[in-house]
Amino acid sequence: MGVRSAPINLLILLGLALLLAVLSVLSLFAGSRVTGIAEVVQALTGAGDPHLQLVVTERIPRTIIGAVVGASLAVSGVIVQGVTRNPLGDPGLLGVSVGASAAVVTATAITGTAIGAGTVWVALVGALVTVILVVLVAGRPTGGGIVPLLLAGAVVSAVLGTYIQAMILTRPAVFDSFRFWVIGSLAGRRLDTLAEVAPALILGLALALILASGLNALALGDDLAHSLGVSVPRVRAGALLAAALLCAGATALVGPIAFLGLAVPHLVRALVGTDHRWQMPAAILLGASVLIAADIVGRIIARPGELMVGVVTAFVGAPFLLIAVRAGRAVRG
């Protein structure tokens, strides 16, 4: 699981791109009933059953949003594990998901009902404010190691988690509205909502790609990275900002998605090695594929209804993570 040759990694990326394309097409067919190729083609061309036309056209933004969210969470996971040098690192360590959830709960309690289209902004602001709070509690995490940041994230997450539980237990109306958001779902998500969080996602992805070489240096240790001319505090701060933007935008868009940001980086390292310059594009393609696949599974196994994608990733992500960890042990042993 070390450094792979460039030709092999290029072939792997091409394979992942093909997988994403196939799953994106399959996503147009998956639903409450089996849909034939001819029916989908007719629906896309504006012919055939009007109801099926509506259903198929709604699957297009659902697939696009699923790909964007999956890619964002996967890249965020790669960054967090790279910065912390912890294979169990997860974007949730920064308090992003719990911060978004706390903001949604608070807004619901204030308004007395679900906040509809404004949820994305409330969740995004809550997530980013929580990350800032974690950094402030940690003091100077970018200069004195990563442990204070992880501890601060755990403390803030615990406090906000308790606050969320108190709110939903004492206010039934809050619980009724919040329970539909707290488990991530792609159902009903629209491209105009994606446009609202796109600036945060684009900035986060750009920072991630720019700092890939710096993350490689951090993997060697702070002292060696300094000797190579890398500004460790700046790279770490920029990387954490990128991870926060990506995870916050994705969480605001569809709600919390479990396990993807933790499991996909393990699979990426197994495929393309430890070089973050290869891990980033691989994470984009594989993360998008995994979330789309999970959404397809959720639509198929619960017909005529569907399972929320956040439930599917939790059940499917755990075995994949165990397989990746065991494979890594076998390689090292």
Domain count, the chain: 1
Encoded tokens for 218: 């951090």
The predicted pLDDT at position 32 comes to 67
pLDDT, mean of residues 302-314: 82
Within 139-259, residue ranges assigned H as helices are 147-170, 172-182, 191-210, 212-218, 222-227, 232-254
* Max Cα distance, the chain (Å): 66
- Domain membership of residue 17 (yes or no) is no
Domain carrying residue 100: 6-12+22-332
Write down the pLDDT at residue 281.
Answer: 96
**For the stretch 2-21, what's the b/e string if a residue is b when 16 or more beta carbons lie within 10 angstroms of its beta carbon?**
eebeeeebeebbeebeebbe
Phi/psi of residue 177, nearest 5 degrees: -80, -40
- Give the residue with greater pLDDT, 332 vs 248: 248
pLDDT tier at 54 (50, 70, 90 boundaries)? Answer: confident
Residue 1 lies in a domain: no
Strands (E), the chain: none
Which residues have C-beta within 8 Å of that of residue 175, sequence separation ≥ 6?
A: 168, 169
Q: What is the pLDDT of residue 95?
A: 87
Mean pLDDT of 58-70: 92
Read off the pLDDT band of 331 (50, 70, 90). very low
Q: What is the mean pLDDT of the chain?
A: 83
Contact 197, 120 (CB under 8 A): yes
CATH number at residue 299: 1.10.3470.10
Rounded distance between C-alpha atoms, residue 252 and residue 197, angstroms = 8
pLDDT at position 144 over 60: no
Q: What is the pLDDT of residue 12?
A: 95
Q: Are the C-beta atoms of 317 and 267 separated by less than 8 Å?
A: no
Q: List, in order, residues 6 or more apart from 104 with CB less than 8 Å away.
A: 115, 119, 122, 123, 126, 178, 181
Q: Per the domain annotation, does 128 fall within a domain?
A: yes
